[in-house]
Structure formats: C-alpha cells, structure tokens
Amino acid sequence: MPKINPKLKRYNTMTSKEIRRIFLDFFKEKSHQIVPSAPLVIKNDPTLMFTNAGMNQFKDFFLGNKPVTYSRIADTQKCLRVSGKHNDLEEVGIDTYHHTFFEMLGNWSFGDYFKKEAIDWAWELLVVRYKLDKDRLYATVFGGDKGDNLPADEEAFEFWKQYLPEERILFADKKDNFWEMGDTGPCGPCSEIHIDLRNDAERAKTPGRELVNQDHPQVVEIWNLVFMQFNRKNDGSLHALPAQHVDTGMGFERLAMALQGKTSNYDTDVFTPLIDFIANAAATNYGKDRKKDIAMRVMADHIRAIAFAIADGEMPSNNKGGYVIKRILRRAVRYAYTFLDFQVPFLYKLVPILAAQFAETFPELKSQEEFITKVIKNEEDTFLRTLENGLKRLEHEMEHLESHEIPGKVVFELYDTFGFPADLTALIARENHFTIDEKGFEQAMGIQKERSRKDAISETDDWQFVQEDKSINVDFLGYDTLQASAKIVEYRKIARKKQSFYQIVLDQTPFYAESGGQVGDTGYIQAHSNGEKIEVIDTQKENDLIIHITKKLPTDIYSSFDCVVDAKRRKNIKGNHSATHLLHAALRHVLGTHVTQKGSLVAPNALRFDFSHFAKMSEEEILAVEGEVNQKIRENIELQEMRNVPIEQAKQMGAMALFGEKYGDFVRVIIFDKEHSVELCGGTHVASTGEIGYFKIVSEASVASGVRRIEALTAQAAEDYVQNELAQIQEIKNLLKGSKQITKDISRILDEKSELQKKIELYENQVAQTIKKQLLETCEKLENGINFIAQKVELPTANHIRQIAFELEHQVDNLFLVIATPIEGKPQIAVMLSANLVSDKGLNASKIVRELAKEIKGGGGGQPFFATAGGKDVSGLDNVIEKAKTML
C-alpha cells in the first residue's frame, strides 16, 4: 500500500495540473517567455533521436548557431530517455522513480542572469510558493576536476549558504555535477537540489546527506541547475562560450511526488488513473504483489512514451527511433502478458485516459486519439502473434531436444529471428524442467552487436572555421534565386566505410536543404579565384545549419564561390511540392478532415504522400482526388507566399500545422487560393499551379496501420506514364486486329482458351485410356502369380504416366508394371507394384527404377510401390522393357 508521510500530508491537495501551472506562472512573473514543448521526435540532428532534456530545443542558442529570440524562457518539455547512466529501459518499472517518458520543467537564461538568480528563484519557488519543508532540502555543487583543470564552484556554494546550513551543501565530482550534452558541445558545472522524503524515524537514524546521490528511492534529485559556460571539442578540450547561460531541469513527476506527500512517483495523480484502470482490468490491486506492481508500473510508464511518440509522428518500426518505440511497447506487452495474464491487446485502452489527462497541456493526444489507439492495438496484435508463434517453436524444440539444456544458439535464434524474448524462453524452460545455455546466448548476441557496430563506424572531424568572425547566421536565398555568390564559413570531413565526403557551410546559399520531405538541392560551386568547379551532391540540414555535401574540398577555401543550383531538377521538385499541397487539400475534401500528413517525400521524379486514413481508398475516391487536383492545376492559381507571419496569425488563417513539427514564432505560409490550400511550409513552390501541368496518382497502398500512402507523378513524368499506358492499350488493339471493344474481346478469348484447354485435356485422357486398354491386353500372368505388364508407349504428358499407373494398380492384383515413354524428346519411365508384392516379396519400385534408368542414361527414385525416372537417351527405352522382363 502506498504510504503517506503524515508530515507531508497537508500538501496532498495540490494536483499535478496546479503544480505545472504554478511553475509556469512563477517564471512568467520573473519576465520569462513561456514557450510550448518541442516535439518528442527530433529531426535534423544526427546525434539525437528523441528529446531527452528540456534544453534540446535551445541547443542552437547555446552553440551560437542561431540568434536568441528571448533571453529568458520557461516551459514544460516532453522527454524520452531509454538509455543513460541511471536509466536503462530494462530498469524502468523495477523501482518507483525512473521513467522512459517524463516532463521536464525548465527555466533558461541565454546570456542574461546567471548563478545567483537561478539559485534564488529555485529556492523561492520550492520553499515559498510550493511550501516544501526546507529542512528536507540538500544542494550539491561541483567540486572541481583535475583532468579538466577546473576548480570547485565556490560561487554557487556561497549563494546556497544564504539558504542552507553548510552541512547540507555537498560538493560532488564531475560524474554527478558537471553536465554535458554529449561527447561534444556546450557544458558546464551544475548544482542539484535533492529532497529527503523519508519519515522522521529514518531521518533520525541516518542523516540525509549520506544518502544524496546514492540511488535511494526517497532521497532524490528534483532540480538540476546547469551553468553553461564551456564548449567541449572533439579532442576533449574545453573552450569558454561567448556568453554564459542557465539551463535548468526539474522532473515534474518527482516534484509531484514530493508535493503530494507520496513515496513513489507512481502514487501521484500523474499515474494513479492509469494504474487504477490497469489493476481493475487485471482484477487485482496495486501494492499487493511485487511482480504485478512492477508490471503495472511498466505499463503505466511505457504507454505514455508510446502514445506521445506516435502523436509526434514516430511510428513503431524496425529501425532507428521507430524501433525504440517498438521495443518499449513490446516490453509493456510482455509484462502485461506474463505477470497480469493479459492475453489480448489491452494497452491501447489506456490512450483515452491519457488523452483526457493531457487535453490542456499536450492536446496532440486528444486530437489524434483514434489514430494512436489504432496503431498501438495493431502493434499489440502483431506482438501477441509473435509470442504465440515463438511458443510453438519453443515447444517443438523442447520435444526434439535430447538433453535438458536448450542451446544458446536456439535461444538466440528464437529471439533474433522470431522476436521471442529470451527471458520468456528461460521462464518457460524452467517450467518444463529445462535450463538454457545463457553463455551461448550472450555470445551469439555479442557477435550480432559487433557486426552492426562495425558497419556503423564513421568518423566525423571537428568543424574547421574558415572565417575569423563566426557569426553563422546563414541566409537562404533559394526562394528567390538559384545562383548566388558566397564564401565558406566552416567545413568538416566525414569518413565512413572507406568513403569520405565533406560538409560545407556557406555564408549564404541558394541551395535548399532537405526538410519537410523536400529533397536537398544539387548543383555545383565554382571558385572565383581559380575557376575550380566542385559538385554539390546533396544538401542537408543539421539543426539549423544548411550543409552542402561534396566529395572534394575546394583547393582554395578562402575564395568566394559562384553557387549554382541544378535548375531543371529544382523545377521538377517545385511542381511536385505544390502538387503535394493540392493533393493534401483534395484528400481532406474527398475523405474528410481526419486526413493529416504523416510523411512526405518530394523528389524531382515523383512525390509520395503518407496520411492518416483508416480504409483503402476506392477507385472512385482516387479518381475524385486526382480530378480535383487537376482541376486546381487548370485554374492556374497564383502562389501567395507569406514570409515571417506570426504563428498565431497563420493559424487564424486556417494554416495546417503538423504534429511533431517544430515551428518558430514566425512562419512561412504557402497559399494556393485561401479557400483551398493554406499550409505552413518551408519548401519551394511554383509561381502558379498551371506549371504543374498534369497530376497522376500511380499507386495507393498501406504503409502502417491507419496510414495510407499515395505515390504520384506530375508534369512530364505524369505524361510519360499516361503515354506508356496508352501505348500498351494500342498494342493490345493491334494484336486484336484493331478491335474497338478490347475488354470484351479479351474476356472472350480467355473463355475460349479455357474451353479449348478442357477439350484438349479430354482428348488426352481418351488417348491415355486407349493406351491403358492396350496395356491391359498385354498383361501376362506369370507362374508365380504376378501380373506382369511392361510396354513402351506414346503418352501425351508426363502426368498421364502416373495416372495410368495408379489406375492400373486399382484394377489389377499382383501387378508388376513398367511403362516407358518419350515425353517431348526425353525418356521417362515408371514402375508400379501392388502393395502385397512390396510387403511379401520384398520388391522395391525405387530400386528397380534406378536399375532400369541406367539404360536411358538417367536416374530416378520414389517410394517402394511407385517410382519414376527420367534420362537423356530415348533410344534406350526398348532396352528398358527388355531388361524389365529379365528382372523377375
């Protein structure tokens, strides 16, 4: 049973919603801009798949890649952590305070306030506003590091002394109190606030300071204040950042635990609605059985991660981020299945609870509730089937095993190939008095990991700055021009699998970097100084940098360059992108407004559009959509492009924003008739729809549960496609001697064909019957009672040999039959024996046929009573018959 600490009971009434609101209101008072959470799924950043901290969306501010819009910001950020120093996926749910998905409350200063205000306000919020017991609070500060040549953070220590006695301020080492984003990037010392939630008796027994940072479930960190002042380079060295920043993060769920007087995150109102529902459905109570409790925590935690990830566009799949989501989901199903006996999909039923819970804070769940539910249910179905199949396989293995140890190879195969969890294998093995070879399993797993890792090796060098003044504020000129003059700002080399290429950042560029589905531009840059031409093979975006990818580095990197985009290619891309917008609008008209974009590819030769919809589109619907798009093309609607529109205004104009897409405060709006298509979009478009020329849907298919994909062509490609189809029809007409009713003719021809086939079959059967009669007439009754038939005959097909043989076997007792016949120039023989000859006289058709086959230079086999053989020498058929006569 969840224990309530009586001392903390008076705060029990503060709901999680209030806690969140108080936090945001507090920092609003302190002149912070409150911003929405960034999507959980990260695009354009190779180092990160999911947002794992509140600061992710501000990374470019810290790096100086992007000008700061507000110097003070606060928000609550959706975060996902599935690996890290204290948070392995396999550990979540075992204890009561780690999560995959969580909210991070944070406040930021970008070159504005620093340590003093950060500490003052943290104290004010926790003690004055939230009224936490100050005697339970501890602070840690950075104690310095010799390796990095850094002193202890005495400054922070001094500020804390105003509020806390010295014995509750602890110095900690680099591992705990020096925050780093990754191997490289912004970093700095940090100061953490911990809270001791134990009861008085325990607090009297052991001082809280001895339990800080010791993984005690009730002495936990609640707030981390990071003082960002360095940038770590690839070589490990630290460099001072141009300005000092504050980055803080407070775990929302833990804060709720502290404020609601609970000893577990799962006992707060963030989780109880989920836990209650699960317990009820499983016909059990939370807090009664340790294993069941763990399962319920796993489910309650994981459903949040899965639902939010799907809402932000990350579908369960078999690679990258999608695979992470799938693994989380499967872990939840596995616990539900094993410990709570859920044999049918269940997790999806939790989605409505979550959606209602977060309707105000994160409305993306509510508005996609049906879709998310469907995706999860489908995935649950798939996995339960996988489990079932795996179970069958495992049982089969155990039946056929000689020893009572299941080899590691088998355990691994079950896991690797059939997705059957190894711990489940172990469990079932134990129940059946088997053991598993864990060592062998680990070994096989190691080989698999090594292989994958080897493949992924790539080396990325540090950025080399070409210009002294690193004011990267790159202008994209490509909306207005396809040619421009520019200088290199920075570059770096990337090596991967014996191949190497360069990434170049220019101070301004007409090259469009891949984003929003539109592929990156190609073209070339040419040095003014020596005329050297370097091909740009792709353009990518990393965070907000436009990166030109080349195979070669210009010899003169200090030159200015003519940058030229492949214009013809871009023209096709533009047409496809505008067509995509028209398609999106048409789909919403024809199918309904539940249609939202789930993915898009805009390439020069084709376009692909994925959208949420729950059924296969009918022929009529496809035609209607295609027709509407072409109608809009013929209307030749002029493009209305608006840059730098405040996002609120854009939304008022009815612009469609996508879930899981990060938008700034100012956006670009693309309009083709304000009554028809208004979208937020950074891509390139035609000046008027007539340029698209013609639009043709080529395929409609499913990509995932609830997601359909349309592939289409425009302009020349669409015309070529139609021409090609027409040419084929013409060819058919020509074959039909200029028929005007080809479908009717073809179906008539097909009917005739099957009729003729039947007639031929009938005729062939008659021939075969005649031959059978002839064979019967040649039947000799030998002295030993055997009815002997051996003849060379002419049969229509190979199948007839079998047919006649089986029929004769029914008609004649004690039969010894040899048929020899040429089929399409090749000799074929068959031997049929009555069953009693096989059992009584030890005759074997297979052996006989092999012996006979020598005469036709071939081989054969079959069963003891019937066997066939083929060969190469037709002239030997007569010898076969002669030889057969001698065999009795």
Partner RNA sequence: GGGGGAUUAGCUCAGUUGGCUAGAGUGCUUGCAUGGCAUGCAAGAGGUCACCGGUUCGAAUCCGGUAUUCUCCA
Smallest distance, RNA to C-beta of residue 393, A: 9
* CA torsion through residues 269, 274, 279, 280, sign: positive
User: What DSSP character marks residue 145?
Assistant: B
Output 683 or 860, the one with its CB closest to RNA: 860
State how far the Cα of 182 lies from the Cα of 176, in Å rounded to an integer.
14
Return the amino acid letter for 384. Answer: L
Greatest Cα pair distance in the chain: 121
Q: For residue 581, give every residue at least 6 positions away whose Cβ sits within 8 Å of its Cβ, in sequence order, or none.
A: 670, 672, 677, 679, 681, 685
Report phi then psi at 42, rounded to 5. -105, 130
Smallest distance, RNA to C-beta of residue 406, A: 17
Output 182 or 859, the one with its CB closest to RNA: 859
State how far the Cα of 509 lies from the Cα of 527, in Å rounded to an integer.
14
Output 32 or 331, the one with its CB closest to RNA: 331
β-pairing, 815-823 with 607-612?
unpaired
Smallest distance, RNA to C-beta of residue 809, A: 8
State how far the Cα of 233 lies from the Cα of 185, in Å rounded to an integer.
7
Smallest distance, RNA to C-beta of residue 683, A: 23
Output 762 or 782, the one with its CB closest to RNA: 762
Output 65 or 803, the one with its CB closest to RNA: 803
State how far the Cα of 52 lies from the Cα of 656, in Å rounded to an integer.
27
Smallest distance, RNA to C-beta of residue 793, A: 17
* CA torsion through residues 383, 384, 385, 389, sign: positive
Smallest distance, RNA to C-beta of residue 866, A: 6
Smallest distance, RNA to C-beta of residue 231, A: 25
Output 586 or 801, the one with its CB closest to RNA: 801
Smallest distance, RNA to C-beta of residue 349, A: 20
Cα–Cα distances in Å, from 797 out to 453, 828, 829, 863, 873? Answer: 56, 10, 12, 21, 18
CA 528 to chain centre: 44
Output 826 or 883, the one with its CB closest to RNA: 826
Smallest distance, RNA to C-beta of residue 286, A: 28
H helices present in 739-834, as ranges: 742-777, 798-811
> Token pair for residue 232?
């770590």
Q: Give bridge partners of residue 818 from the DSSP assignment.
A: 790, 831
Output 132 or 704, the one with its CB closest to RNA: 704
Output 200 or 455, the one with its CB closest to RNA: 455
β-pairing, 707-714 with 607-612?
antiparallel
Smallest distance, RNA to C-beta of residue 104, A: 25
Smallest distance, RNA to C-beta of residue 408, A: 14
Q: Which of 280, 237, 294, 271 is nearest to 95 (CA)?
A: 294
Output 458 or 485, the one with its CB closest to RNA: 458
Smallest distance, RNA to C-beta of residue 818, A: 15
Cα–Cα distances in Å, from 845 out to 90, 289, 798, 816, 851? Answer: 61, 67, 18, 9, 10
State how far the Cα of 633 lies from the Cα of 728, in Å rounded to an integer.
27
Burial class (CB in 10 A: 0-12, 13-18, 19+), 822: middle
Return the amino acid letter for 300. Answer: A
Helix (H, G, I), strand (E, B) or coil at 690: helix
Output 269 or 538, the one with its CB closest to RNA: 538
Smallest distance, RNA to C-beta of residue 324, A: 8
For 469, what's the count of Cα atoms within 13 Å in the CB-facing half-sphere?
Answer: 4
Q: Give bridge partners of residue 188 from the DSSP assignment.
A: 179
Smallest distance, RNA to C-beta of residue 180, A: 19
Q: For residue 779, give every residue at least 6 positions away whose Cβ sits within 8 Å of its Cβ, in sequence order, or none.
A: 787, 788, 789, 812
Task: Show the CA angle centred on residue 85, arms to residues 259 and 110, nearest 5°.
Answer: 65
Is residue 293 within 8 Å of residue 274, measured between CB atoms? no
Output 653 or 835, the one with its CB closest to RNA: 835
Output 151 or 861, the one with its CB closest to RNA: 861
Output 346 or 415, the one with its CB closest to RNA: 415
Q: For residue 523, give every residue at least 6 positions away whose Cβ sits within 8 Å of its Cβ, in sequence order, or none.
A: 482, 511, 535, 536, 563, 564, 565, 566
Return the amino acid letter for 10. Answer: R
Output 316 or 575, the one with its CB closest to RNA: 316
Return the amino acid letter for 125. Answer: L
State how far the Cα of 492 lies from the Cα of 505, in Å rounded to an integer.
9
Smallest distance, RNA to C-beta of residue 20, A: 34
Smallest distance, RNA to C-beta of residue 856, A: 8
Smallest distance, RNA to C-beta of residue 575, A: 25
3-class SS letters over 703-756? EECCEEEEEEEEHHHHHHHHHHHHHHHHHHHHHCCCCCCHHHHHHHHHHHHHHH
State how far the Cα of 874 lies from the Cα of 822, in Å rounded to an integer.
7
Residues that bind RNA in the complex, under the rule CB under 7 A: 318-320, 323, 326-327, 330, 382-383, 386, 389, 413, 415-419, 445, 448-449, 451-453, 455-456, 703, 799, 802-803, 806-807, 826, 853, 858-863, 866-872
Output 257 or 830, the one with its CB closest to RNA: 830
Helices 742-777 and 798-811: crossing angle in degrees, nearest 10, is: 50
Smallest distance, RNA to C-beta of residue 761, A: 12
Is residue 87 within 8 Å of residue 47, measured between CB atoms? no
Output 455 or 731, the one with its CB closest to RNA: 455
Return the amino acid letter for 182. Answer: G
Output 9 or 385, the one with its CB closest to RNA: 385
